[in-house]
Amino acid sequence: MSWLLALVLIGVSTPTATPPDKVDATTLNDKVLFGYQGWFRTPSDGSPGGWSHWSKGNPTPETMAMDLYPDLSEFSTKDLFQIPGQTIGTKPAWLFSSFNPNVVQKHFEWMKAYGLDGVLLQRFVTDIPKVRSEGDRVLLNVMHSAEATGRVFAIEYDISGADATKVANQLQEDWQHLVNDVHITGSPSYLHDGGHPVVSIWGMGLSDKSHPPSEPPPAMEVINWFQKIAKTMVIGGTPAYWMQLNRDAKSDPKWTNAYHQMDVIQPWTVGRYGNLEEVDRWKADHLVPELIDTAAHQQRYMPVIFPGFSWHNLNPQSPANQIPRLGGSFLWRQAINAQSAGAKMLKIAMFDEVNEGTAMFKAASRRIDAPDQGYWLTLDADGLKLPSDWYLRLAGQITNAFHTHKSLPADPPKP
């Protein structure tokens, strides 16, 4: 039996012919959402800057800041920018800019084609002045693309690197800007729950100093403002060890009160386990008890799953293909465990995160499909022949399982 036929028989197939025209934007229930960075820039894309997030300065094989090379075969070269001095065989190598509405539109067209719900758009507090000086172009790209394709979106603030003395005011002022000036909550695609706009705040409680507020009381004030004044439903992007108050989480027991004030707990698990055995231990040690705890406090729980991890170009001291994807088995096991533990919603990290090698969008299948120069992670890294849309296919099956409440097959698909 061919690997493609085997996958079709277990339900991992190409996009359905009639994907849902419109995702229900009135509830978080049964949603599977991607994180969406949208932070890529290139010269001549209309943005004020040049290369951003693709490389550390002008791109060379030594300065690239991303491992996973995207499949760009469906894009017009007029919407791409050539990488100086890099080639794929005899052809030039290209990259895209999130500033380009055609690029974001294509991403959302893929989401619709594979039956995916939408995104939590990352909005870094430290980048707010920059993105507002750009006219919130990427946000508008996401909003218009979500509306055009019937997908949903919501803001996920990332507080990494923010000033503890300013972060509360920055969050409040920016949210008011987004509501009153950009009118995001008036979009039919902006995700609501129980009649309230959904907002995620990622990073509070992490043990390093770069994630303010550093103490529980100001964190609770931020959460209270969004809930009581802004009338939003708050997802809290917490440390993985939020319940244990150790490792990546601050140890002050008062943080427990802050976590329990959040409407939804979303622990950050990327890199916290690296193989199938550790994935299963995580279910027993974290997913099950944390679902019990959040239910006892009238909260909901959004596990984070990821396909693999590699950031060798960004951090050369780290090994290439650090957490192998195993042809999708690593992602699949996490999804099965989240569903069987009782989770009713899910976040997949991430749709377009090529820097850490967690991107789920179409990626180069074979090493020969990526630039000849430098190191690149491609989907054949584990010795498997996979189509470029493989992870979108898997995400579609996972999303369908959460929508229908039907259990995913216990055995992961194997090419």
- Cβ–Cβ < 8 Å for 141, 104: yes
Could you tell me if residue 306 is inside a domain?
A: yes
**Domain limits for position 209:** 3-404
The CATH code of the domain that includes 220 is 3.20.20.80
Relative to beta strand 264-267, strand 233-238 is: parallel
Query: What is the rounded distance in angstroms from the CA atom of residue 43 to the CA atom of residue 362?
Result: 23
- Cβ–Cβ < 8 Å for 53, 99: no
Residue-level pLDDT at 19: 63
Both tokens assigned to 295: 């239910």
Could you tell me if residue 413 is inside a domain?
A: no
Query: What is the rounded distance in angstroms from the CA atom of residue 342 to the CA atom of residue 394?
Result: 20
Three-state SS string over 6-43 comes to: HHHHCCCCCCCCCCCCCCCCCCCCCCEEEEECCCCECC
Could you tell me if residue 415 is inside a domain?
A: no
Residue-level pLDDT at 410: 83
Both tokens assigned to 413: 């698909």
Relative to beta strand 264-267, strand 304-305 is: unpaired
- State which residues of the chain have pLDDT below 50: 1-11, 13, 16-17
Name the DSSP class of 368.
G
Name the DSSP class of 153.
E
Residue-level pLDDT at 412: 72
Could you tell me if residue 409 is inside a domain?
A: no
| 347 SS3 class | strand
Could you tell me if residue 266 is inside a domain?
A: yes
- Cβ–Cβ < 8 Å for 373, 87: yes
Query: What is the rounded distance in angstroms from the CA atom of residue 366 to the CA atom of residue 32?
Result: 28
Could you tell me if residue 112 is inside a domain?
A: yes
| 202 SS3 class | strand
Q: How large is the C-alpha radius of gyration of the chain?
A: 20
Could you tell me if residue 232 is inside a domain?
A: yes
- Cβ–Cβ < 8 Å for 123, 157: yes
pLDDT digits (tens, 9 = 90+) for 143-175: 999 999 999 999 999 999 999 999 999 999 999
Could you tell me if residue 248 is inside a domain?
A: yes
Q: How many domains does the chain have?
A: 1
- Cβ–Cβ < 8 Å for 131, 165: no
